[in-house]
């Protein structure tokens, strides 16, 4: 009888676990369908990966899922109200001294807390809270100069200096859905704005390619965008910068939004593939851009996120001057992401047209 009871308990636990997994799969599927984003429904994919390794090897390997931030662990933790993407919230629950009263915050018009670029700096390495009375916080009370007319040169469209393209062309911003084929609502609109800033304000010739790469087969998006890059390299040989412009997927606006010169803007971040054979040249370029950004607009750049290989090295093996940049996230408004481009354009112009 005891054995039967124990067996019944085991079966009950297994049924409970299976039920939870089924419910989470259903919830994930509904959410993906609602957002017209089935390519990001990764719960099922990861269950298969963990239980049938052979499937992982043939279909969904690490590179395929490189930029997808879904994880089973994160979903389970969320059931208990734990958000690992927001360390400030997690620490605040455990340490009353970090409940938000000991450091300065800026509140946006929409009542959400937003990071001031000079008062709160958060990157992948640490959390640094700077009180109001420190001298560095006074930078936010000054007008940070955005445009530098001394960097402007005569525009020469015969030899484009920068190629901007979008591997995940349908990535979009609020108030649109997270994915949209309308170029006026997606990262394409941000690319248009950045191109305009670079050409009109600094005389830097830009090719902005708007080819959609991520609709027919999301997992092959980098292969398709790589073909686009090859087409331009065949014609122009190389560029001073090859920019794959994306947006991130982050739930917490505070991590990806800043206030600078009284304007709410999206932060930007670089993503690099370390095993790429051109990495030393690529990262030297990106480090220079990060340094320039920190000099003129402290905290606006969220630093650099690294992968070993990424997907096809994120096409960074095609040139010494290739990199991926994410402007804001799907929780940002399009106006915030577009506002960032004048600062990013200034950083790029300092590197290309300034004295180094």
Question: Looking at the 3D structure of the chain, how many domains does it have?
Answer: 2
Among 205, 196, 194, 195, which Cα is nearest to 155's? 205
In a domain, 325, yes or no: yes
Q: Is residue 75 domain-shared with residue 148, that is, in the same domain?
A: no
Task: Based on the fold, state whether residues 49 and 152 are members of the same structural domain.
Answer: no
Reported as a single tens digit per residue, the pLDDT across 271-296 is: 999 999 999 999 999 999 999 999 99
Q: Please give the share of the chain, as a percent, with pLDDT higher than 90.
A: 57
Q: Picking from 122-131, 183-192, 330-339, which range would have the lowest pLDDT averaged per residue?
A: 122-131
Judge if 29 and 167 occupy the same domain: no
CA-wise closest residue to 244 among 327, 347, 342: 327
Same domain? For 151 and 47 the reply is no
Together in a domain, 55 and 177: no
DSSP 8: H
Higher pLDDT, 105 or 63: 63
How far from the centroid of its chain's Cα atoms is residue 91's Cα?
A: 24
**Under 8 Å between Cβ of 348 and 204:** yes
Same domain for 145 and 14: no
Domain hosting residue 16, numbered range: 2-79
User: Does the residue 121 lie in any domain?
Assistant: no
Is there a contact between 278 and 322 (Cβ–Cβ < 8 Å)? Answer: yes
| % of the chain exceeding 70 in pLDDT | 64
Beta pairing, strands 301-307 & 106-107: unpaired
Which of helix, strand or coil describes residue 351?
helix
- Provide the whole-model pTM: 0.68
Average pLDDT over residues 295-315: 95
Instruction: Confirm whether 84 is domain-assigned.
Output: no
The whole-angstrom separation of Cα 229 and Cα 74 is: 35
Q: Does 330 share its domain with 196?
A: yes
- End-to-end Cα separation, the chain, in angstroms: 82
In a domain, 340, yes or no: yes
Q: Which residues contact 189 (CB under 8 A, 6 or more apart)?
A: 183, 334, 338
Whether the pLDDT of residue 120 is over 50: the answer is no
Pair 224, 346 in one domain = yes
């Amino acid at each position: 009888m005891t054995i039967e009871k124990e067996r019944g308990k085991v079966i009950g636990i297994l049924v409970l676990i299976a039920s939870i997994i089924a419910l989470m799969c259903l919830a994930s599927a509904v959410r993906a369908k609602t957002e017209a984003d089935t390519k990001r429904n990764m719960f099922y994919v990861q269950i298969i990966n963990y239980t049938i390794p052979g499937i992982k090897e043939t279909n969904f390997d690490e590179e395929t899922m490189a930029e997808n931030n879904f994880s089973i662990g994160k979903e389970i933790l969320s059931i208990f109200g734990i958000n690992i993407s927001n360390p400030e919230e997690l620490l605040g629950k455990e340490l009353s001294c970090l409940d938000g009263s000991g450091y300065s915050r800026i509140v946006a018009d929409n009542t959400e807390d937003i990071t001031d670029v000079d008062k709160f700096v958060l990157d992948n390495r640490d959390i640094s809270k700077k009180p109001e009375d420190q001298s560095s916080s006074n930078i936010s009370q000054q007008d940070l100069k955005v445009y530098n007319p001394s960097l402007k040169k005569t525009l020469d469209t015969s030899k484009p200096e920068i190629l901007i393209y979008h591997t995940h062309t349908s990535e979009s911003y609020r108030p649109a859905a997270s994915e949209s084929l309308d170029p006026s609502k997606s990262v394409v609109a941000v690319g248009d704005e950045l191109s305009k800033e670079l050409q009109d304000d600094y005389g830097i010739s830009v090719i902005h390619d708007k080819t959609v790469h991520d609709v027919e087969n999301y997992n092959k998006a980098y292969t398709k965008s790589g073909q686009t890059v090859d087409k331009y390299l065949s014609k122009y040989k190389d560029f001073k910068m090859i920019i794959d412009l994306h947006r991130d997927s982050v739930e917490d606006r505070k991590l990806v939004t800043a206030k600078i010169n009284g304007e709410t803007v999206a932060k930007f971040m670089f993503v690099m593939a370390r095993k790429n054979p051109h990495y030393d040249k690529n990262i030297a370029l990106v480090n220079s851009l990060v340094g320039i950004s920190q000099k003129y607009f402290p905290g606006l750049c969220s630093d650099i996120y690294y992968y070993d290989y990424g997907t096809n090295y994120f096409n960074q093996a095609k040139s010494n001057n290739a990199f991926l940049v994410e402007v804001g996230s799907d929780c940002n408004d399009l106006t915030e992401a577009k506002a960032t481009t004048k600062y990013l354009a200034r950083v790029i112009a300092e590197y290309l047209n300034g004295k180094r």
